[in-house]
Structure 1
Amino acid sequence: MPRTIDEGFKDFLTKLTPSSTETEAAKSHRASIEQCLKSNFNLLRFWRIGSFGNGTSISGYSDIDYLASLGDLTTNSNVSLQNIKAALDNRFPNTGITVRCPAVKAPFGYLAKETTEIVPGRLISWDPYYVYNIPDCNGEWMKTSPDAHNAYVRKVNEKHSRKVKPLIRFIKAWKYYNNVPISSFYLEMRVAKYCDSESSIIYWLDIEYFLTRMLNTYLPILQDPAGISGYIHPCSSQVNFDTTLSKLKTAVTRAQNANNAKKSDDIKTAFEWWDKLYANNFPSYYK
């Protein structure tokens, strides 16, 4: 039996959302990491941030991010990252701990859900949200506030009857399935800001509109809509920017073709174009 486009995206969202088993597996090393940080760096607060923390993770692709509020940090943020790496290396000697600024990465297995990244932070203010200095990858520190960012996304999500976080997942799925080297945080905040100015959300339309707007504005640096982190960059290098722009052009063409087919009542062809956009991971036209 054929599906409608709306049914296709409903089933796709189920596929993208991590299962309870995957979510629980993500917690398995938390206590050991927390104890290590308490023993070595005067841990004050430790909590999940990023996609898993905000309900926008992608099954099989999103790793686990924590922010560790630490009392004992050096002036040079690069040195702090190396110190944390050394402590975790000592606690987990066979894990292959590395620095992936602004975090220390602990790959406990081969799957994304088995990888934990710890971002060290120094608390600098707490009203109305906790604000931290985290490594800026140049030895200095930069401001961030996962609490403020989550609150902003949550506010826009509620404004649109909880359709914004699914839209974020659909855009992130394009990133992961096509190996697009663009920042997940950039996409999350950019989708939320896009939705904040929209009157309604229709997934199959807004995916096209959002991707087209990114392309037409040439992947601009985003001013943090939560007013904390200054400017948010889409990519970490010029090479990644060029690759992202190329893949974005292809994505826009495929989304446009999908919606043109839908407008012509050729739903089967529309499904085929969505499947191309998502690298053969979109649900089949037939149930």
Structure 2
Amino acid sequence: MTDHIIIGGGVIGLTLAYSLACQNESVLVLERGTCGQETSRAAAGMLATDIELREELHALAARSRRLYPLLARRLERETGIDCGYREQPFLLKRNGREYVFPSVGQIDPRRLTTALMSALRKRGVSIEEQVDVTRICENEDTVRIESNEGEWTGRTVTVAAGRGSQALLATAGISIATYGVKGECLAVRLAGEPLPSILFDDSVYLVPKADGRILIGATELPYDETVGVRVAGVMSLLQAAEQLYPPIRDAVIEEVWSGIRPQTESGLPYLGVADSSRRIFLATGHHRHGILLAPVTAEILANTLRLIQKEEVR
């Protein structure tokens, strides 16, 4: 039996698994596809300023920003993988006003996922991919997971499966309310001098990466969970990007993609133990801020889960 089962192999689930593994807890990660290849892969990795966030998230975001450089350095020491953490100027245009921040952090979600996977495997964490969980059954002392690949039992389970969390939790009689928001993005490469800062306005953002790419995003299409990228979406992003930064017209498009972000009606994520449960925990509904809030989400949940483990050992 495993101490902690985590359903969902995106950045949030993997960061939680890593936090628990660092405390010598036994962890199993179950992912329905390939880890890090859904919403996490689509994210730009900006560690948003408070102007972009609901006030209720400010304290969590501040803590998460402090944790990120520590996490990135630790992962690089353990795996040799650079997660792309960097700090750079940030220009935000909102409602006709300009805000200039001398230093705002960003991370490369794809590199971060790779580093987390490598670190977890080095620590002996089991990661099972292509596992379609069909049911969660909570008992007095354990939680049983049923899937297309068999059954697993753990002392706790944390559901961090993005938009899929709602249906999974329903199998355990737990109700949450989320809806999908599709976001389309593209990556371009611009010859010459690199873009020196992140640019962000009401219509588009441009995020320069360490490898020379510039990420442009993102459309927001509530209740759209279709696969693929629309021509109209790409055109709208490129037009807005050119208005914000005219040299972008000479860039070469390298990649386009989309992702489905889980949103809640309140705009706040589900974080903590599920209602009427003792062993089923939630880490979902982060919408655009899943990458930003991953370290603090992991910290909060890992502390709670370790306390449960210690109490039961006593």
TM-score (norm 2): 0.25
- Give the number of the structure with larger relative contact order, counting CA–CA contacts within 8 Å between residues 6 or more apart: 2
Q: Could you state the TM-score of these two structures normalised by the residue count of structure 1?
A: 0.27
Which structure's residues are more often helix, by fraction? 1
Structure with more of its chain in strand, by fraction: 2
